Structure 1
Amino acid sequence: MDKVISRELFEKVGVDTQNSETVVRPSMSYFQDAWRRLKKNKVAMISMFFLIFIALMCTFAPMIYPVAFDTQDLMNTNQGPTMEHFFGLDDLGRDIFARIWVGGRVSLTIAIVGALISLVIGVLYGGISGYFGGIVDDIMMRIVEILVGIPYMIVVIIVSMVLGKGIHSLLIALCLTSWTGLARLVRGQVISLKSSEYILAAKALGTSDFKIIRKHLFPNMLSVIIINTTFSIPGFIFSEAFLSFLGMGIQPPNTSWGAMAALGQQQMMYYPHELLFPAAAISLTMLAFNLLGDGLRDAFDPKLRQ
């Protein structure tokens, strides 16, 4: 005699299958989850869109704006903001609005290129030092300590004397010592990670050192590297502005935000708009990068992952 088994025996007890509103979050990778959390940070997203706007304006505004950045109107020098000249004119009759975006090209180029160069050197140097350890680590870290002890102002002066003043010498001078902080950070991360079980297992299986670094160490340090690079960009912007303000950076007829602030400082008492706009460009851009860096730090924090 066949037995009939009721389907009710296989139903979950206490769960209303018809009215259940159980929400199952789709699986996502570490970076997808970080992006999801970053999008919830309104301040970081506003900062990111502001930086995109600045980059687009620096790229396309000089092409569209009808007044060239080096055109002089000697009859209306030091003129305030008008409908024809949105940010006014400087002491040589040059349009400040046009010069802001041309100067932004120089400042952002130095900041981004300098940060990328420091990123590559710092990651390679710190990774090699931390991974091999021993006498290699001792020698490499002593070199870093010597470089850290040299004030970057002295480096800038020496490089300027050898190569002359300009964007190339300024970029070289800033990059000579800026990578040391990231190298120390990467070294510490590598020393912490290389004693992990999965690294020891990879070594036991005969995996090459290059593959261990590329497949295991670098991906686990990527979030720290991205955050550090984001925070280093404002430092480059400030350094360029400071050195150009002292007359050791960008030279005429080229311009940058720091060079514009140096010229505006001389007219500050009577024509404050000549200092206000380049100073605002420097301050707002640095603030946006710092706020975006804070957002990335929170987004990549594994303790906040849900």
Structure 2
Amino acid sequence: MAKDDKKLSKDLFEPIELSADKGEELTRPEISFWKDAWLRLRKNKAAIVGLFLLIFIVFMSLIGPMMNDYDIDQADYDAKNLTPKVKGLEWMSMFDGKKTWEIEGVTVESATEAGLRAYEVDEQFVEIEVISQGNPDNNEYAKIEMHVDDYANRGYDETYFWFGTDQLGRDLWTRTWKGTQISLYIGLLAAIIDMIVGVIYGGVSAYYGGRVDNYMQRFIEILVGIPNLVVVILMIILLKPGLLAITIALTITGWTGMARIVRGQVLKLKNQEFVLASRTLGATDRRILSKHLIPNVTAMIVINTMFTIPSAIFFESFLSFIGLGLQPPIASLGTLIDAAFDSYRTYPYMLVFPAIIISVLMIGFNIVADGIRDALDPKMRK
């Protein structure tokens, strides 16, 4: 010790008296595994945004069809192909109910007359914007833009179709949200099948092992070797294109991925001490599986389920788009996109709205699934 170091007085130190009953007192609040996961998920801004988007779409799919007086199959041929019009948003070109055509002619007057005849438009509902006058001496044509108040021209001045109408004059707002219901039903169905069939099958296969596991896994390999598209085609041959064929196809092959994941997790857990202790105390196989093994793989089940839902939604939309899924007049996001695809250059709004909704669903579910995976992974804890 250096000579210039000062000795500290003993009066500066006071012993702390700790009672015996405070020896086991926790220094921080106790939280459960799921509460801790929620606290970490809440810090993931992308996952929270995706969760709010999903909640909004589910909410709108339930109340959207009830927000106006149009029925899903209510056709009005006089109102066919009307563009979106929303009261109070007419200042936006997308929701003003007007159509715009570019027309060429020798002169501005001839182009205007040709447009009025071709589109059967009353001149009082037309605004003409001259793009170029043209020069007949140089073989240059005049070009105009004809802005038409299509609602007033057809006598629908006080009518509003928020997403426009289709080729049969049906309200696309109602059909889009009804179609979202069907797509969400397919995703929910796939999740339920995964959580019931896949979890039970994989848990039983891994727990009993041996010959039981061998036979059960060979059966899964046979199912995995058959593409989903082939199964759907077989169902269509036996039944007819529709919701029943897709449901049966998902029931036959949709759960195999979950079964393999659960099997792998249960194989890692079934020989650990807590399972041995439970078996020693006389617990039945059913109780060990339901109370000890399956709850310990819940995190993997939740994560895989969240990834299954968007895959099932896309699967249904793809089948409907190629004509193997739901058939008109049934509305789903896939059938709406299929119906709008042929005329998307002329009436792009028919394709835009269902495409946006299915994109938000796919992105939202994947972002939330990534967030849940990080929140449930102890290694990601900071």
TM-score normalised over the length of structure 1? 0.90
Aligned partners of 2:193 and 2:254 also within 8 Å: no
- Aligned partner of 1:197 among 250, 257, 273: 273
Rounded to whole Å, the distance in 2 between the matches of 1:106 and 1:304 is 36
Letter in 2 for 1:10: I
Contiguous gaps of at least 5 residues in structure 1:
1-6, 13-22
Local SS of the residue matching 1:303: helix
- Aligned partner of 1:116 among 192, 205, 224: 192
Q: Which residue is equivalent to 1:159?
A: 235
Aligned partners of 2:303 and 2:373 also within 8 Å: yes
Aligned partners of 1:33 and 1:305 also within 8 Å: no
- Of structures 1 and 2, the one with the larger relative CO (CA 8 A, separation 6+) is 1
Q: Which residue is equivalent to 1:28?
A: 31
Q: Alpha-carbon deviation of 1:207?
A: 2.2
Q: Give the aligned length.
A: 290
Contiguous gaps of at least 5 residues in structure 2:
1-12, 19-25, 87-159
Q: Does 1:45 align with 2:36?
A: no
Letter in 2 for 1:81: P
Rounded to whole Å, the distance in 1 between the matches of 2:192 and 2:321 is 24
Q: Which residue is equivalent to 1:9?
A: 15
- Aligned partner of 2:361 among 275, 280, 285: 285
Q: Alpha-carbon deviation of 1:11?
A: 5.3
TM-score normalised over the length of structure 2? 0.73
Q: Deviations over 1:124-173 (max 9, x none)?
A: 11001100010111110001001000011111111122222221221111
Letter in 1 for 2:290: R
Which protein has the larger Cα radius of gyration, Structure 1 or Structure 2?
A: 2
Q: Which residue is equivalent to 1:4?
A: none
Q: Pick the structure with more helix per residue.
A: 1
Local SS of the residue matching 1:81: coil
Q: Which residue is equivalent to 1:67?
A: 70
274-283 or 285-294: bigger deviation? 274-283
Letter in 2 for 1:167: L
Q: Which residue is equivalent to 2:314?
A: 238
Q: Which residue is equivalent to 1:80?
A: 83
Rounded to whole Å, the distance in 1 between the matches of 2:16 and 2:322 is 80
Task: List 4+ stretches of structure 1 deviating above 3 A.
Answer: none
Aligned partners of 2:310 and 2:362 also within 8 Å: yes
Rounded to whole Å, the distance in 2 between the matches of 1:135 and 1:286 is 40
Q: Deviations over 1:52-101 (max 9, x none)?
A: 11111111111222222222232232222212112211111112111110
RMSD across aligned C-alpha pairs, in angstroms?
A: 1.8
Letter in 2 for 1:42: K
Aligned partners of 2:65 and 2:173 also within 8 Å: no
Rounded to whole Å, the distance in 2 between the matches of 1:290 and 1:143 is 30
246-255 or 200-209: bigger deviation? 200-209
Rounded to whole Å, the distance in 1 between the matches of 2:286 and 2:367 is 35
Q: Pick the structure with more strand per residue.
A: 2
Q: Deviations over 1:181-228 (max 9, x none)?
A: 110000000101112121122223332211111221011100100110
Q: Which residue is equivalent to 1:144?
A: 220
Rounded to whole Å, the distance in 2 between the matches of 1:220 and 1:208 is 17
122-131 or 23-32: bigger deviation? 23-32
Rounded to whole Å, the distance in 2 between the matches of 1:87 and 1:64 is 13
